[in-house]
């Protein structure tokens, strides 16, 4: 049984594969956190609730009759604010008396097989019966607010999925002011925070720094996740490397305003909270109403950050990406954006398809510019009817011509947006998000549609469904090119405007759910000015996300390495473009560390380049399973090493490795074999290129001799690959 309740000690013990988590119900029904880490067999863990010294200024509940117990210093499962715990709190409810004191205590629990879906939200799932769930019910006796804490343990992964459901069982309305998805109270601050920051064209840059006393946080309040921070945080012990040491990975299945807050108290005990950003959030619960938080995922790794990432990769492909394309071979595509921008017509696209077909490419994606009078980015968002001046003969005729060449067809949408210069805006100006009496700020000349509204979603769904159902469309790129300002909905009463941002995200999820349910055959790729909404909430609907508008292969290294901390390689949208830095060979190798595709004018390729593209297409097929379903090892980090970037994919049975090196800047001539992780020391591997045989032990401990390649001969932007196969 992965979840045990020791009734005598009132201890809950959750045993995922390679990960133990424990909490207990203490006197007066306080729910106290005990442990999260490496597997342990014991259940008598109650002494773990005492951490550091007692602070004499901390409030005591006399009924507890324990002079060492105070909610201000004990580790708590889901701390609430105002009743003696002065650290950051996960829950804060303002009741009818106007105060925000919240004091939740254990009431009951249940344990059952499987994993519940979360209404209206993306959530991990259990298709194989490999999960068990614990629901712990807690109650604030004064307001009647019930908080049910959900924990799902996955037997096949060191993962626990958590969320909270808050219900108003009282007789008066209450306002939720903070309602995080999870809390983790740890005993020591010997951890580094590892997280991802960025901006447009520079998403997912890894940063690592030690925890400090006080509060440190990663937030979004853009209405979307944004490229600035990812809803992901790892704590790695100070000595942890890619392959050794402990790491705790925390991820949030949410695409809106999020917060990861870490407070290290005076005793050096960190508290981590992650969930919806409480800034600009307030949710009114009428009696009988309930609120479900987004899901938080917690991963434990005893094998460093690399082990943590591999767990996320496999777990998200198996238990989060619900698309039929998650583990089905995806078509190799070419996208029109960087090849043509807005300057295309049906004939040009057919020429692209013809050239692409000759190269072995399987799908043409028509990007922005096919609808309304969209001749540039100033107009037409919201008018999802086909521009027949550009696509003469209409969309069906174009798709037929492309399909006749043996090429599938994909299309671009930006469903959440509206330009003031559009028929939709002229008909429904109130559908754009805005505050009465204030000017709309524009970004890329556009406004955001009020996705909290059913009528808006119905309209966009119908416009999309009309096009999709009448045409042979195999793929959609769902773009989103601005964030939300002047946030308010014309349909929400003043006392509910604090709900706007979360309702917006629920609206987007609803529309994505409707599109993917109505057209399950469609491969959906998310995008937000590049990788601006690269988050696990989106992965639930779309198994791949365009990682960045930066297609420079050297810059892409840090973007893809960073994203790989939490997101599967199979989800990282990566294309070969005409970007001038580095040759076609390196561009192909970098894009192969992602979904792989093209984003260039195929008519402009030289004969030599065409041959190389054909070879890359062959590699895409040859290494598809290894890259999509294998284990990914980051070896030399492009943000840590000034010269080189190295990575490898190893097959699950360890019979195959694909190693890649990219020279960002030619290093000085030094001789240093590179140790390759992940291989079976007992197996013997043949270098496919040279025929030389190595034991896994030699490659792992002695290293691979790259002196005649990288260190001496490869120059800036060059790369090499090595394919090892076990005999």
Q: Which residues are catalytic?
A: 479, 549
Judged by beta carbon, residue 556 or residue 711, the one nearer ligand DGJ is 556
Report residue 30 as tokens.
């306080």
Please state, in angstroms and rounded to a whole number, the distance separating the CA atoms of residues 629 and 402.
31
Judged by beta carbon, residue 547 or residue 699, the one nearer ligand DGJ is 547
Nearest approach in angstroms of CB 360 to ligand DGJ is 23
**Residue with the CB atom nearest ligand DGJ in the bound state:** 368
Is 480 annotated in some ligand binding site?
yes
Q: Is 335 helix (H, G, I), strand (E, B) or coil?
A: strand
Query: Which of 167, 192, 261, 368 lies at the binding interface for ligand DGJ (CB under 6 A)?
Result: 368
Judged by beta carbon, residue 415 or residue 696, the one nearer ligand DGJ is 415
Is 261 annotated in some ligand binding site?
no
3-state SS track over 171-206: CCCEEEEEEEEEEEECCCCCEEEEEEECCCCCCCEE
Nearest approach in angstroms of CB 570 to ligand DGJ is 19
Nearest approach in angstroms of CB 552 to ligand DGJ is 14
Task: Give the DSSP H or E segment for 536.
Answer: helix 536-541
In order, the DSSP letters of 540-585 are HH-SEEE--S---HHHHHHHHHHHTTTS-GGGEE--EE--SSS-HH
Judged by beta carbon, residue 527 or residue 584, the one nearer ligand DGJ is 527
Judged by beta carbon, residue 223 or residue 270, the one nearer ligand DGJ is 223
Is 423 annotated in some ligand binding site?
no
Please state, in angstroms and rounded to a whole number, the distance separating the CA atoms of residues 161 and 181.
10
Give Cβ neighbours of residue 81 (< 8 Å, ≥ 6 apart): 89, 91, 92, 100, 101, 102, 178
Is 367 annotated in some ligand binding site?
yes
Is 99 annotated in some ligand binding site?
no
Question: Please, what is the angle between helix 607-622 and helix 346-359, to 10°?
Answer: 70
Site for ligand DGJ in 386-415 (CB under 6 A): 412
**What residues form DSSP beta bridges with 291?**
166
Nearest approach in angstroms of CB 396 to ligand DGJ is 23
Under 8 Å between Cβ of 515 and 476 = yes
Nearest to 570 by CA among 546, 544, 549: 544
Query: Should residue 475 be labelled a site residue for ligand DGJ when binding is judged by CB under 6 A?
Result: no
Residue 666 half-sphere exposure toward CB, CA atoms < 13 A? 9
Give Cβ neighbours of residue 141 (< 8 Å, ≥ 6 apart): 103, 105
| Other beta carbons within 10 Å of 580 | 7
Judged by beta carbon, residue 74 or residue 481, the one nearer ligand DGJ is 481
Judged by beta carbon, residue 226 or residue 530, the one nearer ligand DGJ is 530
β-strand 174-185 against 270-276: which pairing, if any?
antiparallel
Is 645 annotated in some ligand binding site?
no
Nearest approach in angstroms of CB 401 to ligand DGJ is 23
Is 377 annotated in some ligand binding site?
no
Question: Please, what is the angle between helix 584-591 and helix 553-563, to 10°?
Answer: 10
Is 549 annotated in some ligand binding site?
yes
Please state, in angstroms and rounded to a whole number, the distance separating the CA atoms of residues 283 and 296.
19
Query: Should residue 479 be labelled a site residue for ligand DGJ when binding is judged by CB under 6 A?
Result: yes
Site for ligand DGJ in 3-32 (CB under 6 A): none
Site for ligand DGJ in 500-559 (CB under 6 A): 527, 529-530, 546, 549
Please state, in angstroms and rounded to a whole number, the distance separating the CA atoms of residues 662 and 554.
8
Query: Should residue 478 be labelled a site residue for ligand DGJ when binding is judged by CB under 6 A?
Result: no
Nearest approach in angstroms of CB 439 to ligand DGJ is 24
Q: Is 55 helix (H, G, I), strand (E, B) or coil?
A: coil
Query: Which of 260, 337, 501, 632 lies at the binding interface for ligand DGJ (CB under 6 A)?
Result: 337
Q: What angle do CA 199, 203, 205 make, to 5 degrees?
A: 105
Task: Give the DSSP H or E segment for 434.
Answer: none
**Total chain residues near ligand DGJ (CB under 6 A):** 11
Judged by beta carbon, residue 530 or residue 696, the one nearer ligand DGJ is 530
Nearest approach in angstroms of CB 573 to ligand DGJ is 9
Please state, in angstroms and rounded to a whole number, the distance separating the CA atoms of residues 273 and 261.
5
Nearest approach in angstroms of CB 549 to ligand DGJ is 5
Is 481 annotated in some ligand binding site?
yes
Nearest approach in angstroms of CB 214 to ligand DGJ is 37
Report residue 626 as tokens.
């290894």
Judged by beta carbon, residue 408 or residue 529, the one nearer ligand DGJ is 529
Query: Which of 225, 481, 571, 719 lies at the binding interface for ligand DGJ (CB under 6 A)?
Result: 481
**What residues form DSSP beta bridges with 527?**
none
Q: Which parts are annotated binding residues? A: 200, 367-368, 444, 477-481, 527, 549
Q: Which parts are annotated binding residues for substrate? A: 200, 367-368, 444, 477-481, 527, 549
Q: Which residues bind ligand DGJ (CB under 6 A)?
A: 337, 367-368, 412, 479, 481, 527, 529-530, 546, 549
């Amino acid at each position: 049984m992965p979840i045990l309740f020791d009734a005598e000690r009132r201890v809950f013990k959750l045993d995922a594969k390679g990960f133990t988590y424990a909490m207990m119900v203490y006197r007066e029904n306080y729910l106290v956190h005990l442990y999260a880490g490496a597997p342990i067999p014991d259940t008598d863990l109650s002494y773990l609730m005492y951490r550091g010294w007692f602070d004499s200024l901390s409030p005591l509940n006399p009924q507890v009759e324990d002079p060492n117990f105070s909610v201000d210093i004990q580790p708590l499962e889901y701390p609430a604010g105002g009743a003696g715990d002065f650290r950051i709190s996960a829950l804060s409810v303002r009741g009818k008396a106007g105060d925000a004191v919240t004091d939740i205590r254990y009431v009951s629990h249940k344990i059952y097989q499987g994993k519940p879906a979360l209404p209206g939200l993306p959530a991990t799932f259990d298709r194989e019966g490999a999960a068990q769930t614990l629901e712990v019910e807690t109650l604030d006796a004064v307001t009647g607010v019930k908080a049910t804490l959900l924990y799902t343990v996955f037997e096949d992964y060191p993962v626990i999925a958590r969320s909270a459901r808050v219900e108003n069982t009282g007789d008066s309305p209450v306002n939720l002011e903070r309602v995080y998805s999870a809390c983790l109270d740890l005993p020591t601050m010997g951890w580094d925070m590892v997280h991802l920051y960025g901006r447009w064209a520079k998403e997912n840059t890894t940063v690592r720094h030690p925890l400090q006393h006080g509060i440190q946080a990663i937030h979004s309040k853009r209405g979307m996740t944004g490229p600035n921070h990812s809803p992901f945080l790892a704590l790695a012990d100070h000595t942890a490397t890619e392959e050794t040491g402990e790491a705790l990975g925390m991820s949030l299945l949410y695409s809106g305003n999020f917060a990861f807050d870490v407070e290290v108290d005076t005793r050096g005990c960190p508290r981590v909270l992650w969930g919806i950003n409480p800034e600009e959030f307030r949710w009114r619960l009428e009696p009988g109403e309930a609120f479900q938080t987004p899901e938080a995922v917690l991963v434990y790794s005893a094998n460093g950050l690399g082990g943590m990432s591999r767990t996320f990769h496999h777990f998200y492909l198996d238990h989060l990406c619900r698309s039929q394309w998650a583990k089905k071979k995806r078509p190799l595509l070419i996208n029109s954006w960087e090849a043509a921008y807005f300057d295309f017509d049906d004939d040009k696209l057919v020429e692209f398809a013809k050239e692409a077909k000759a190269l072995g490419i399987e799908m043409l994606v028509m990007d922005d510019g096919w609808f309304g009078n969209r001749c540039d980015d100033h107009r037409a968002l919201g008018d999802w009817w086909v521009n027949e001046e550009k696509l003469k003969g209409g969309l069906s005729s174009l798709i037929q011509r492309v399909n006749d060449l043996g090429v599938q067809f994909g299309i671009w949408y930006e469903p959440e947006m509206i330009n003031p210069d559009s028929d939709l805006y002229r008909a429904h100006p109130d559908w754009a998000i805005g505050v009465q009496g204030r000017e709309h700020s524009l970004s890329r000349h556009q406004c955001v549609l009020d996705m909290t509204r059913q009528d808006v979603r119905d309209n966009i769904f119908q416009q999309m469904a009309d096009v999709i159902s009448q045409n042979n469309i195999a793929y959609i790129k769902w773009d989103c090119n601005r964030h939300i300002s002047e946030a308010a909905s014309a349909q929400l009463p003043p006392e509910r405007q604090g709900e706007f941002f979360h309702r917006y995200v629920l609206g987007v999820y609803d529309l994505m759910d409707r599109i993917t349910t109505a057209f399950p055959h469609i491969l959906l790729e998310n995008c937000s000015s590049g990788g601006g909404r690269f988050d696990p909430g989106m992965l639930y609907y779309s198994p791949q996300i365009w990682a960045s508008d930066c297609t420079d292969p050297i810059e892409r290294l840090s973007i893809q390495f960073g994203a790989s901390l939490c997101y599967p390689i199979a989800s990282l949208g990566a294309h070969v473009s005409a970007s001038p830095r580095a040759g076609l060979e390196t561009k192909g190798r970098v894009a192969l560390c992602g979904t792989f595709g093209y984003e260039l004018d195929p008519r402009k390729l030289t004969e030599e380049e065409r041959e190389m593209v054909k070879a890359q297409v062959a590699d895409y097929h040859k290494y598809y399973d290894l890259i999509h379903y294998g284990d990914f090892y980051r070896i030399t980090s492009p943000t840590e090493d000034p010269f080189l970037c190295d990575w490898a994919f190893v097959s699950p049975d360890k019979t195959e490795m694909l190693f890649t090196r990219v020279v960002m800047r030619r290093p000085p001539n030094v001789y240093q074999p590179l140790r390759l992780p992940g291989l079976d020391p007992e197996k013997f591997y043949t270098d496919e290129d040279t025929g030389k045989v190595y034991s896994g032990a030699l490659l792992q401990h002695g290293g691979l001799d790259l002196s005649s390649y990288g260190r001496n001969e490869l120059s800036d932007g060059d790369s090499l690959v090595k394919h090892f196969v076990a005999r």
